[in-house]
Structure 1
Amino acid sequence: MTDEPGRRPAPGPDQPPIPVRLVTFNIHHGVGDDGRHDLPRLAKLLAAVDADLICLQEVDRYFGGRSEDVDQALLLSRALDLQLAWGPAIDDARADERLRRQYGNALLSRLPILVSDVHQLPGSGEPRSALRTMVELDGGALWVTNTHLTTGSAGERALQAEAVAALHTGPMETGVLVGDFNAEPGASELGALHERFTDAWELAQDREDQSGWRFWQHAEGRTHPARHPHTRIDQVWVSEGVTVAGAHVLDGAGASDHLPLVVDLEVRSGV
């Protein structure tokens, strides 16, 4: 399922872009800032966003007591009635191989998922991965790569950033790269992203923070930590075939130690 479609003819001038709402959210394995594991709270928050694509990081599948040993990815996809693509970073078999202890990234999609593959990233310490998918649009397609980079050294983040950027190749004219990068967008270790993508927050015609009442943080896109956000480590990057109508940091309702970032994309049709 890793074959990439060939380049198609450029769309005509009368073909409007396709709107796609995307949210990226590090869910902290469903544990909120109150220390409670609460998947219904998380599902309610995500349902209210009314997104076409939901990119999640720090998702557990039968991982243990911290998340009540449930398959969070499957339960959320069922609760929201969305398709699921799964990208484990940690994958440990148990005695019962049907219940694999896993942790990683998930894509929940209202749009048909045509391609899904998982790529392990370089680095030491906690394993990291990238989940690459292609979803079908009405008259087009969109590549979505969802990842979570290391909290370790900047050097390792640089290697991981290079690896995820390389997953987006020439024929993939419309694409987004999203996730928790554990670095600000301007950090030197994310330099490889700037060669192929543009920070969606900077492109957005309309920007807003739920934390806007803190006037010194208004429209700055900060997502972590949730109670007093002072860093912009949860990001969306877009290729040339994608424009950005709006980007908004939402109130996370205490569901995680991060805040969700919602981006309204406009995807070039006919590619």
Structure 2
Amino acid sequence: MTDATGTKPAPGPDQPPIPVRLVTFNTHHGVGDDGRHDLPRLAKVLAAADADLVCLQEVDRYFGDRSEDVDQALLLSRALDMQLAWGPAIDEPRRDDRERRQYGNALLSRLPILVSDVHPLPGSGEPRSALRTMVELDGGTLWVTTTHLSTRADQERAAQAALLAELHTEPMAAGVLVGDFNTAPDAPELGSLRERFTDAWELARDRDDQARWRFWRQDEGHTHPARRPHRRIDHVWVSSGVAVAGAHVLDSAGASDHLPVVVDLEVPSGV
């Protein structure tokens, strides 16, 4: 809405926040805990989450036989009727002019994607990257960074976390950082993240998880391994001003070796 001069008025202090539902999920390239590659099963789990933003790790694009050599990112975006941003960590040519062999992070979005870029992360072993996007809200914007940190050493994760913290600067305003961090949120190597972000699980006014085999502990956010989760390595971090109405670990229906985390964000208007 604009005034008579065509200028959009500044947001008032009493404008309600913008609700955004986000899910993050390490998909294990669509291979479930039964060893089967089943992309329709994965799509069904994601559809049931009914999220505005779907942040995925360990996604294959023409990677080979383990995922039937398909473009998982594109097929999932079509199945869910969502926009796609893609951030490879592995990107290799193949023979015979076939599509490149890729593996990495994906963002599926009901919201318009305005900006998308990919940032390699430091470290040895398996290449890691961060997919940074900006999406348009009804009255604002939100930066979303999806990543997957190293399993190798605390020092590597510390260097990766420091780069991730630098990707979100003060002028960017509202932002979230999500993914598989391969360590707990209070791990020392994530100290640089805690200087700029807050753990959404701790902020959430309502929370629940799938660890019901330990009926006395149902709010710890454990996501791995999927069958008997006892590690909280899949996180959502939010910048200052972003509130969290709820955070829940969902049933993955056997679609991965991780469980998905869904958070209901409240993003300030006009940022």
Task: Verify: 1:174 aligned to 2:174, yes or no.
Answer: yes
Residue number in structure 2 paired with 1:141: 141
Q: Structure 2: give runs of 5+ residues left out of the alignment.
A: 1-7
CA RMSD of aligned residues (A): 1.3
Listed one character per residue, the Cα deviations across residues 109-138 of structure 1 (whole Å, up to 9, x for unaligned) are 000000000000000000000000000000
Q: 1:75 to 1:14 in 2, by over 3 A?
A: same
- Correspondences of 1:19-58 after superposition (within 5 Å): 19-58=19-58
Q: Deviations over 1:218-259 (max 9, x none)?
A: 100000000010100000000013110000001110000000
Residue 214 of structure 1: how far off its partner (Å):
2.1
Residues 146-165 of structure 1 aligned to structure 2 (within 5 Å):
146-165=146-165
Q: Which residue of 1 aligns with 2:219?
A: 219
Amino acid at match of 1:232: R
Q: Taking every aligned residue pair, what percent have the same amino acid on both sides?
A: 81
Indicate the residue corresponding to 2:68 in structure 1.
68
TM-score by length of 1: 0.95
Equivalent-residue separation in structure 2 for 1:11 and 1:200 (angstroms): 25
Residues 146 and 178 in structure 1, CA contact (< 8 A), matched pair in contact too: yes
Q: Give 2:123's aligned amino acid.
A: G
Residue 86 of structure 2 corresponds to which residue in structure 1?
86
8 Å CA contact 1:175–1:241 kept in 2: the answer is no
Whole-angstrom distance in 1 between the partners of 2:200 and 2:10: 23
Equivalent residues of 1:211, 1:251 under 8 A apart: no
**Aligned mates of 2:95, 2:171 — CA distance in 1:** 43
**Structure label with greater radius of gyration:** 2
Change (3 A) 1:10 1:229: farther
Encode CA deviations 1:27-57: one digit per residue, 9 max, x unaligned: 0000000000000000011001100000000
Deviations 1:119-175 (A, max 9, x none): 000000000000000000000000000000000000000000001111001111100
Give distance in 2, aligned partners of 1:115 and 1:125: 29
Amino acid at match of 1:230: H
Task: Please give the alpha-carbon distance, in whole angstroms, between the structure 2 residues aligned to 1:204 and 1:112.
Answer: 26
Deviation, 1:12, is: 1.7
1:186 aligned residue: 186
Deviations 1:68-114 (A, max 9, x none): 00000000000000000000000001124450100000000000000
What are the within-5 Å matches in structure 2 for residues 97-112 of structure 1? 97-112=97-112
**Count of matched residue positions in the alignment of Structure 1 and Structure 2:** 264
Q: Which moved more, 1:90-99 or 1:148-157?
A: 90-99
Give secondary structure in 2 for the equivalent of 1:46.
helix
Does 1:249 pair with 2:249? yes
Matched, 1:259 2:259: yes
Paired letter, 1:242: V
Give the Cα separation in 1 of the matches to 2:101 and 2:123: 21
Alpha-carbon separation, structure 1, partners of 2:10 and 2:201? 26
Could you tell me whether the CA contact under 8 Å between 1:179 and 1:236 is conserved in 2? yes
| Counterpart residue identity of residue 68, structure 2 | E
Structure 1 unaligned regions, length at least 5 = 1-7
Alpha-carbon distance between aligned partners in 2 of 1:132 and 1:152, rounded to the nearest angstrom: 23
Could you say what secondary structure the match of 2:103 adopts?
strand
The equivalences for 1:197-216 within 5 A come to 197-216=197-216
* Distance (whole Å) between structure 2 residues aligned to residue 256 and residue 229 of structure 1: 12
Secondary structure at the aligned position of 2:211 is classed as helix
Give, as a single letter, the amino acid of the residue that structure 2 aligns with 1:47: A
How far apart are residue 215 of structure 1 and its match?
Answer: 1.5
TM-score by length of 2: 0.95
Q: Distance in 2 between matches of 1:49 and 1:96?
A: 39
Question: Shift of the alpha carbon at 1:14?
Answer: 2.1
> Does 24-33 or 215-224 show the bigger shift?
215-224
- Determine the C-alpha separation between the residues in 1 that align with 2:122 and 2:214: 38
